[in-house]
Amino acid sequence: MDRRIFLGAAGGAVALAAPAVAQGNPEVRWRMPSSFPRNLDILYGSCERLGRRVAELTDGKFRITPSPAGEIVPALQVLDSVQQGSVECGHSPALFYFGKEPALAFFTCVPFGMNRRQMAAWMRYGDGMKLADEMFSAFNCVFMNFGDTGVQMGGWFRKEIRSLDDVRGLKFRIAGLGGLVFERLGAVPTQIAPGDIYPSLERGVIDAAEFIGPYDDEKLGLNRIARFYYAPGFWEPCSMGGFIANRQAWNALPPHYRTAVEVALGEIDTDQNARFDALNPPALRRVIAGGAQLRAWPREVLQAAWREAHGLYDDLSAKNPNFKKVYENYRAFRNEQYQWFRVAENAYETFAFAEAARS
């Protein structure tokens, strides 16, 4: 039977169905504090994009309003606020909360871990999402990846790092497990919210700071107060953002509202990394033209950091069953990815990038 004829012949059915449709599209308003300041237009801009896309996909019925770090929630307390239900969701890297549960760091990045593409493969087609859901359920939260920066830079230093001796005693702003690695190398790591990095470096509270890469580092003004710029950020071979939702609030959403969030996050996952890839090269040229001295880590530092990172993973695994469970799964996937990338990706890049530099 033609559907239009059926509906026309059953006017009563249409009248009864209309309230059900309305109930399936309720007006929902969520707040989403971010760990990042408003002037970081890629990271915080992704929050604004999420809000716009979810509204578009739900005919304006479901609106998520972002707020920058510190406006309603301090930058490093987003998870706590979502867990308690003070806000419905938040935008914050999981590694900011490794002090609560070290295993959470795997859902952002870990030293000498996987790059962006490898992480996406683990999250989507390995056990990453399943393990993330298990770990975040302990905090009454749901977690989904929210964009990625790609591999990051190694940070801004007032003094040149020529050997391990120059690392010892260094007061270094660094996030996640990377701080524990530098602590094992003799540095004094501290985790400082993004918006507080510049004044801390300017006042000498810290000697060095890492954040993301040229585009965002320039926006924070780090190139104005430290001269030596190191690469790569071996503790952040990617940096996967986090959408964290209160579990009860998430489960209460109509299924198509949850789908709208997932679709928007999927779009952002591609777009955010593309924006960083497009904007970092000209930003790097600008900071170098402004006096930044680009440096590579001494091999001695990299080799010592590799040893200490894997020693740290073994130590944490011995103490923490959650960490051991996630690490063993992550490491097996990582090692297989490393082998494949050596065959194809790395072999191509090593040749082509070198030839392009010579031409």
Least confident among 19-23, 49-53, 74-78, 242-246: 19-23
Which residues partner with 172 through β-bridges? Answer: 189, 208
| Statement: residue 15 has pLDDT above 70 | no
The 3-state DSSP class for residue 28 equals: strand
What average pLDDT does the chain have?
93
pLDDT tens-digit series, residues 230-252: 999 999 999 999 999 999 999 99
User: To 10 degrees, the CA torsion angle through 45, 80, 28, 247?
Assistant: 120
Domain boundaries, the chain: 23-151+238-278, 155-234+284-329
Q: What tokens were used for 24?
A: 């399936």
- Partners of residue 67 on adjacent β-strands: 33
Whether 23-151+238-278 and 155-234+284-329 share one fold: the answer is yes
Write out the CATH class of domain 23-151+238-278: alpha beta
What is the reported pLDDT for 359? 87
Model confidence at 61: pLDDT above 50? yes
Q: Which residues, at least 6 apart from 220, have a Cβ–Cβ distance to it below 8 Å?
A: 40, 194, 197, 198, 211
State the CB neighbour count (10 A cutoff) for residue 136.
25
Q: Can you tell me which residue has the tokens 């169905």?
A: 17
Instruction: Report residue 319's pLDDT band, with 50, 70 and 90 as the boundaries.
Output: very high
Average pLDDT over residues 164-179: 96
Q: Give every CB contact of residue 325 below 8 A, 6+ residues apart in sequence.
A: 103, 131
pLDDT over 90 (residue 220): yes
* pLDDT at residue 23 greater than cutoff 90: no
Q: Is the dihedral of CA 46, 52, 58, 60 positive or negative?
A: positive
Name the superfamily (CATH) of residues 155-234+284-329: Periplasmic binding protein-like II (3.40.190.10)
* Residues 188 and 169 sit within 8 Å (Cβ to Cβ): yes
Percent of the chain with pLDDT over 90: 92
Beta partners for residue 294, in sequence order: 229
Report residue 154 as tokens: 């190694």
pTM for the model:
0.91
pLDDT for 4:
31
